[in-house]
Structure 1
Amino acid sequence: MTVLPRVRARLSFLALALAAAGCATAPQGPVTLNLVAINDFHGNLEPSKYTYTSAVTGKTETLRAGGIEALSGALAAWRREDRDLLFVGAGDLIGASPALSSMWADEPSIEAMNLLGLRLSSVGNHEFDAGRKELLRQQAGGCDSPRPAKACKLNPGYGGARFTYLAANVLDSATGKPFMPAYRVENVKGVKVGVVGAVLEGTASVAVASAIAGLTFIDEADAINKMLPQMRADGAKVFVALIHEGGRTDEAPDQPACKGLSGGVVDIVKRLDPAIRLVITGHSHQGYMCTVDGRVVTQADAAGHLLSRIALKVDPASGAVAGIDVKNVVMNPEHFPADPKVDAYLAGVKERSRAVLARPLGKLGAPVVARQAGDAGESPLGNLIADAVLAATRAQGAQIGFMNNGGIRKDLETSDAALTTNFGHAQAVLPFGNTLVVLDLTGAQLRRLLEQQWQRPSASGATILQVSQGLTYTWDAGRPVGQRLVPGSLKLHGAPVDDGKRYRVVANNFLAEGGDHFPEFAKGTHRVDTGIVDLDALGDYIARNPGIGGAAAGMAPARRIDRLDTQK
């Protein structure tokens, strides 16, 4: 009879021990959850130029910021402060990337994010650049790719992303369900955090139509709100939204609680469930830390120039958020020494890439051919590319070349005192690998096309198409939208464009399918995809025209596009 009391004693001791252990690990009082956010990395493995004005100092500074070495140093330092730090993204981690990443199907950027410990990211519109199948491959790994010349060439055992892409508002048109996970619930310091991701509903207007076939993009706020009951059922008490849609403000990237945010994301934020107190955004490539309807809305510029450090003070029992502190930190490589593993990985990628990137294309007429447009919307680099795509397709009857500003990602630089430019520089300008499509438009369609430069969604703003030599016109900012072309000004080689005549034009396949809010292109007839890649056309044009890109090839002495500002 003496055994039973001993058993009871042991059970009582075990129960007390378990209770004590539980008390030791359960959160007591407010808990600080630390997040770090990145957006629009666009494969910038190395630092790039960043100019910003600080709200703290009032000074404008220009430096080379970002790159995975600086990012790794910052994250390592912050993880020493909090090993439970959650690193998340808001889309466009890949796509529109420099050659160091894009020549290997952006696999180096995915692997870099793995090394940096990224946990979750919303998809961005550029994640769809190479199509649905390729995005799923980049997530899951493997070599079955629509880009066989690039995929698995750096690493034949490409294993995919160890982070999870989220896409609550991207539905498989056949099933009506998200084609990728909509959310994930993360356990951070014993608190379950629901993280939900979405991309801009208007992705169809900024993606190649064929790349998103079979997918439907629905309202961001509706899709996110729909996920909250499911996240709650999975135990989530704190909610964070990753949205690849953004806004703009004149306030500095380090201005706390900015109030002047405008743009597409603002309406989305206002319609989100009140339980979502933190919204991490992207797409507009601007740094901000704003307050919208009592919520914190952040963005970390682009290309890894900034990281957003976010501290949420929460009640672990209720999930109530007592406060959110945000800091946008400039990724100055001098301040954040690289993690040795990341340093070694980047060195390996650069060594494998060196010969291809350094291949000379030809000599330019200036150290830099700029993509910055003048008052009329015309840029020296835009002119050069429009001329190049026209030259590449004259054999197919092309008479007019067009280029969209959004497709020109960098200035065209030179690599030596002789003004030689190389493949790496050119690829940074045109990283998408778009093909050139020739098609017929009537003179009347050309006018409608050019008027569409101002007939755009309010969030996107006007965009002026770059045109090849020989096409000239004047537009008047004081005239009503839809009537801005000055009558009689649209000419081809000095002859007025005839509304009833057909003209053979060339544009990249993104524009040719009506992308960037130019639906008139999609109405063109006698369409032929030449298979010529825009980057190849640019390289060939540079090689055949030494000294191109100087003053004679830019906006002076004769402009292609002129602007008036009369008031009616």
Structure 2
Amino acid sequence: MTVSPRARARLSILALALAAAGCTTAPRGPVTLNLVAINDFHGNLEPSKYTYTSAATGKSETLSAGGIEALSGALAAWRKEDKDLLFIGAGDLIGASPALSSMWADEPSIEAMNLLGLRLSSVGNHEFDQGRKELLRQQAGGCDSPRPGKACRIMPNYGGARFTYLAANVLDSATGKPFMPAWRIETVKGVKVGVVGAVLQGTASVAVASAIAGLDFIGEAEAINRALPQMRAEGAQVFVALIHEGGHTATPPDQPACNDLKGGIVDIVKQLDPAFRLVITGHSHQGYLCKVDGRVVTQADAAGHLLSRIAVKVDPASGLVSDIDVRNVVMNPELFPADPKVSAFLANVKERSRAALARPLGKLGTPTVARKANEAGESPLGNLIADAVLAATRAQGAQIGFMNNGGIRKDLETSDAALTTNFGHAQAVLPFGNTLVVLDLTGAQLRRLLEQQWQRPSASGATILQVSQGLTYTWDETRPAGQRLVPGSLKFMGAPVEDSKTYRVVANNFLAEGGDNFPEFARGTNRVDTHIVDLDALSDYIAKHPGAGGANAGLAPSTRIDKVRAQQ
């Protein structure tokens, strides 16, 4: 059969087309996916003090690090190297924030993450601080908020997060399904990356009970593994777990492949499906680059002090990961010039906030009232806050004040040589806006409450409550848990506490609902939420007590809590 010239031409064109198509589908070499991770930002729009031991020098380094300007500079520089860079987070982006963010319902921090190009983040326990409704508003936008005095005040048309929060292990109690997305797939350089997020299963112990009503927190590994077949069904090839739970290590934060990681995250990682080669963590506020059962487990400290740079080499055809290289990079503002848009945004927030933050409250007795505790567990700032909440509620019959260390986020500082402190400094100390609850406990309950300081979950150490003036006791760490109060040492106003007598106590609503693993508070009776905010109580106390915090400003010998010293 003869073929016409026109037919031969058509066949030639077809052959060229098929050859071209074959070129586009032919296997190509491994590609490198560049990820950058952040965790526990906590609304720190500005730099803050960061101290760490450098693996490179072996020396302790202290500098002002973090802040959205430095973050923007680093991300801009790295995106010039790889425009497909994926920026992700491991929770607590908001909550426990400085006043610059929290006074505006943390909307500036959400918008900052939008400007920085964040794509995905697991929820953290602090995302639940203001309740389920507020978290959903912060994700979706709008002004229907339980904090009408703060929401939509700096941005009248607050549009919400342009990144997606992930919460695989947070289930709606009514439906048994995740109340937010469990996972998302991001296509990077033609590779489908499945990212799943989870928060610590023990969130109920570190969140206000009413804020998480109607939600169940299941095992982190269980929920993450459950998401794996769903992501595979959608074509995911590489899998990343974002878990807001962490660990601790003595290894420097910039030392790769540490092998001494301890804490709650270790058992979780060991339960994960082998497909998860990369686990990005948070919650423990420590920087590390570790290996657990051959997997890479990272964390980037907190407050934006570090960013984790992660390079994943993968075969796009098979999805086989051949290498994961990780580095923690200190966010030194001097090394990363800011993106002008981010600088302009920060300047606007600061100008809008300036007058409120600078409002003077009164004079302290020392330049800094420290939150660091002495050997017995008592801190100068803890004493001051416990006294302040008691003073604010004496009219409701309160006799004893309590404060949890986890609620004290910063030292209380002064702003001038006259030792004046202002609203901004006080708000940085107590950023949650908790209200004060007055309730009755018997003397026997007081003993049980104090013994609960050492009856903690296995992953956590002792948590010593801060107490107001008038309550004193001695404890002995050599005695078994549940019996550490030295007999006869628990006294109120110098008299032994009587088991059958009723005492009126005050604590913030987080503690009053049994938070921080203190269930005895939740058993208190005659409960009254005074609706007095803890920050207002502290501010009022400072105004009425010039020189506040001075007597115990240093780590002086204990005056309220004492500890039996070991025999030498």
Check whether TM > 0.5: yes
> Which residue is 1:509 aligned to?
509
> Which residue is 1:435 aligned to?
435
1:27–1:101 distance in 2 versus 1, CA, 3 Å: farther
> Which residue is 2:542 aligned to?
542
Partner Cα distance (2:553, 2:368) in 1: 13
**C-alpha contact (below 8 Å) 1:383/1:553 kept by paired residues:** no
> Which residue is 1:95 aligned to?
95
Partner letter of residue 420 of structure 1?
A: T
Partner Cα distance (1:559, 1:30) in 2: 64
Partner Cα distance (1:472, 1:153) in 2: 44
How many Å apart are 1:551 and its aligned residue? 2.3
Over residues 102-136 of structure 1, what are the superposed CA-to-partner deviations in whole Å (9 max), with x where a residue is unaligned? Answer: 00000000000011010100000000000001001
> Is the counterpart of residue 118 in structure 1 residue 118 in structure 2?
yes
Partner Cα distance (2:147, 2:472) in 1: 38
What does 1:391-410 align with in structure 2 at a 5 Å threshold? 391-410=391-410
**C-alpha contact (below 8 Å) 1:381/1:554 kept by paired residues:** no
> Which residue is 2:317 aligned to?
317
**C-alpha contact (below 8 Å) 2:373/2:555 kept by paired residues:** no
**C-alpha contact (below 8 Å) 2:467/2:560 kept by paired residues:** yes
Partner Cα distance (2:274, 2:503) in 1: 54
Partner letter of residue 203 of structure 2?
A: T
> Which residue is 1:85 aligned to?
85
Partner Cα distance (1:207, 1:154) in 2: 27
Partner Cα distance (1:546, 1:160) in 2: 42
> Is the counterpart of residue 470 in structure 1 residue 474 in structure 2?
no
Partner Cα distance (1:518, 1:102) in 2: 26
Partner Cα distance (2:49, 2:466) in 1: 24
> Which residue is 1:356 aligned to?
356
> Which residue is 1:445 aligned to?
445
> Which residue is 1:426 aligned to?
426
1:27–1:103 distance in 2 versus 1, CA, 3 Å: farther
Partner Cα distance (1:556, 1:492) in 2: 21
Partner letter of residue 244 of structure 1?
A: H
> Which residue is 1:523 aligned to?
523
> Which residue is 1:292 aligned to?
292
**C-alpha contact (below 8 Å) 2:96/2:431 kept by paired residues:** yes
Partner Cα distance (1:108, 1:37) in 2: 20
Task: For structure 1, list consecutive stretches of 5 or more residues without a partner in the other structure.
Answer: none
Secondary structure of the corresponding residue to residue 342 of structure 1: helix
**What's the TM-score, normalizing by structure 1?**
0.97
After superposing on structure 2, the runs of 4+ consecutive aligned residues of structure 1 that deviate more than 6 Å are none
Partner Cα distance (1:148, 1:16) in 2: 64
> Which residue is 1:454 aligned to?
454
Partner Cα distance (2:400, 2:370) in 1: 22
Partner Cα distance (2:260, 2:379) in 1: 30
Over residues 393-428 of structure 1, what are the superposed CA-to-partner deviations in whole Å (9 max), with x where a residue is unaligned? Answer: 000000000000000000000000110000000000
Over residues 134-174 of structure 1, what are the superposed CA-to-partner deviations in whole Å (9 max), with x where a residue is unaligned? Answer: 00110011111111111110011111101000000000000
> Which residue is 1:220 aligned to?
220
Partner Cα distance (1:185, 1:292) in 2: 25
**C-alpha contact (below 8 Å) 1:551/1:557 kept by paired residues:** no
1:501–1:146 distance in 2 versus 1, CA, 3 Å: same
Partner Cα distance (2:537, 2:236) in 1: 52
Q: Which stretch of the first structure deviates more once superposed, 453-462 or 398-407?
A: 453-462
Partner Cα distance (1:516, 1:558) in 2: 23
**C-alpha contact (below 8 Å) 1:383/1:554 kept by paired residues:** no
> Which residue is 1:244 aligned to?
244
**C-alpha contact (below 8 Å) 1:44/1:67 kept by paired residues:** yes
How many Å apart are 1:256 and its aligned residue? 1.1
How many Å apart are 1:14 and its aligned residue? 4.2
Partner letter of residue 385 of structure 1?
A: I
What does 1:249-398 align with in structure 2 at a 5 Å threshold? 249-398=249-398
> Is the counterpart of residue 482 in structure 1 residue 482 in structure 2?
yes
Partner Cα distance (2:196, 2:228) in 1: 9
Over residues 498-553 of structure 1, what are the superposed CA-to-partner deviations in whole Å (9 max), with x where a residue is unaligned? Answer: 00000000000000000000000000000000000000000000000011111257
How many Å apart are 1:262 and its aligned residue? 0.4
Partner Cα distance (2:375, 2:147) in 1: 39
Partner letter of residue 247 of structure 1?
A: G
**C-alpha contact (below 8 Å) 2:376/2:558 kept by paired residues:** no
Secondary structure of the corresponding residue to residue 521 of structure 1: helix
> Which residue is 2:175 aligned to?
175
Partner Cα distance (2:157, 2:490) in 1: 55
Partner letter of residue 544 of structure 1?
A: K
Partner Cα distance (2:558, 2:270) in 1: 48
Partner Cα distance (1:366, 1:63) in 2: 23
Partner Cα distance (1:555, 1:234) in 2: 57
**C-alpha contact (below 8 Å) 2:378/2:558 kept by paired residues:** no
**C-alpha contact (below 8 Å) 1:111/1:161 kept by paired residues:** yes
How many Å apart are 1:251 and its aligned residue? 0.9
Partner Cα distance (2:554, 2:19) in 1: 80
> Which residue is 1:139 aligned to?
139
What does 1:12-31 align with in structure 2 at a 5 Å threshold? 12-20=15-23, 22=24, 28-31=28-31
Partner letter of residue 173 of structure 2?
A: S
Partner letter of residue 343 of structure 1?
A: S
Over residues 5-50 of structure 1, what are the superposed CA-to-partner deviations in whole Å (9 max), with x where a residue is unaligned? Answer: 6655555444444444x35xx7721111110000000000000000
Partner Cα distance (1:12, 1:144) in 2: 62
| Aligned-pair Cα RMSD in Å | 1.4
> Is the counterpart of residue 39 in structure 1 residue 31 in structure 2?
no
Partner Cα distance (2:143, 2:552) in 1: 46
Secondary structure of the corresponding residue to residue 142 of structure 1: coil
**C-alpha contact (below 8 Å) 1:384/1:553 kept by paired residues:** no
> Which residue is 1:71 aligned to?
71
Partner letter of residue 518 of structure 2?
A: F
**C-alpha contact (below 8 Å) 1:508/1:534 kept by paired residues:** yes
Partner Cα distance (1:216, 1:557) in 2: 44
Partner letter of residue 117 of structure 1?
A: G
Partner Cα distance (2:558, 2:518) in 1: 27
How many Å apart are 1:320 and its aligned residue? 1.3
Partner Cα distance (2:339, 2:96) in 1: 26
Partner Cα distance (2:414, 2:212) in 1: 36
Secondary structure of the corresponding residue to residue 201 of structure 2: coil
Over residues 297-337 of structure 1, what are the superposed CA-to-partner deviations in whole Å (9 max), with x where a residue is unaligned? Answer: 00000000000001111111111111111100000000101
Partner Cα distance (2:5, 2:292) in 1: 69
How many Å apart are 1:362 and its aligned residue? 0.5
> Which residue is 1:209 aligned to?
209
1:194–1:296 distance in 2 versus 1, CA, 3 Å: same
Partner Cα distance (1:45, 1:311) in 2: 27
**What's the TM-score, normalizing by structure 2?**
0.97
How many Å apart are 1:287 and its aligned residue? 0.3
How many Å apart are 1:565 and its aligned residue? 3.8
How many Å apart are 1:346 and its aligned residue? 0.5
Partner Cα distance (2:64, 2:313) in 1: 33
Partner Cα distance (2:179, 2:130) in 1: 16
Partner letter of residue 95 of structure 1?
A: G
Partner Cα distance (1:554, 1:449) in 2: 27
